[in-house]
Amino acid sequence: MPKALVPVRGEPLVVHAARRLLSATDADGPLVGLLVVTAPAEHVAAFTSALDALPCRVSAAPVDGTPDPADGPTVVVVPGGATRQASVAAGLAVLPAGRPGGSDVVLVHDAARPFAPPELVGRVVDGVRAGHAAVVPGLAVTDTIKRVGVGDRGAEPVVGTVDRAELRAVQTPQGFTLGLLLRAHDEAARHADDETLAATDDAGLVERLGLPVWVVPGDEHAAKITTARDLRVAELLGDA
């Protein structure tokens, strides 16, 4: 099954991730009024059914106009693409036009980080609203990092030690102004369906434009679930 449907503590990863996004608030109310979930085409119905557990409207239809925040959050499930980049582009394609200039804040999040806390979402949104058009959360790297060369006989030569003070392990959600994210995806569209060329995160697309990306403090609870061990740790720790 798709990773996003793998259950943790009795609920699929995508439900955990969506619930935390939708629970992020500020003084004016919820930060996320519209959540677009991209799913493999053959699993759209399964995603829609799973997300029905949330206290909001869930639909597999395209967005019709700009949702009214007074009506509560809306979740829309659409088919994704062959790569992460293509899937994000598919999600952007169904967004309402937004305000002139594309100043609306758009968050891109991975269901594989199901326990990213609402406070982290708020820091990213605040960063974009403060004037940084591209913002990512990141944690300082604590391991010593070596750069290696071509290996021989099962070993690789060290060619240098990277200064970890300058390194950050980047997480999601990543935040952007709508106009910038649309521009970044438009510029890189020709690579979207090639896994070897497609970007592994949306900040990378902004970097390809030569524009700045800013980092705000990440959160250890936003750990990514990739391996079976990660899944077991998530079962044990959850939001702890």
- Which amino acid, residue 48? T
Return the pLDDT at 240: 66
Return the pLDDT at 171: 98
Q: Could you name the CATH architecture of 3-237?
A: Alpha-Beta Complex (3.90)
Strand partners, 155: 152
> What ranges do the domains of the chain cover?
3-237
How many H helices and E strands in the chain? 7, 14
Angle between helices 178-187 and 84-92 (to 10 degrees): 130
**pLDDT tens digits, residue range 160-172?**
999 999 999 999 9
**pLDDT tens digits, residue range 75-87?**
999 999 999 999 9
Buried/exposed code over 195-210 (b: 16+ C-beta within 10 A; e: otherwise): eeebbebbbbbbeeee
Distance of CA 136 to the CA centre of its chain: 10
pTM equals 0.91
**pLDDT tens digits, residue range 95-119?**
887 666 666 899 999 999 999 999 9
191 closest CA partner among 81, 91, 108: 81
Residue 69 has pLDDT above 60, yes or no: no
H helix intervals, the chain = 13-22, 44-51, 84-92, 118-129, 178-187, 202-208, 228-237
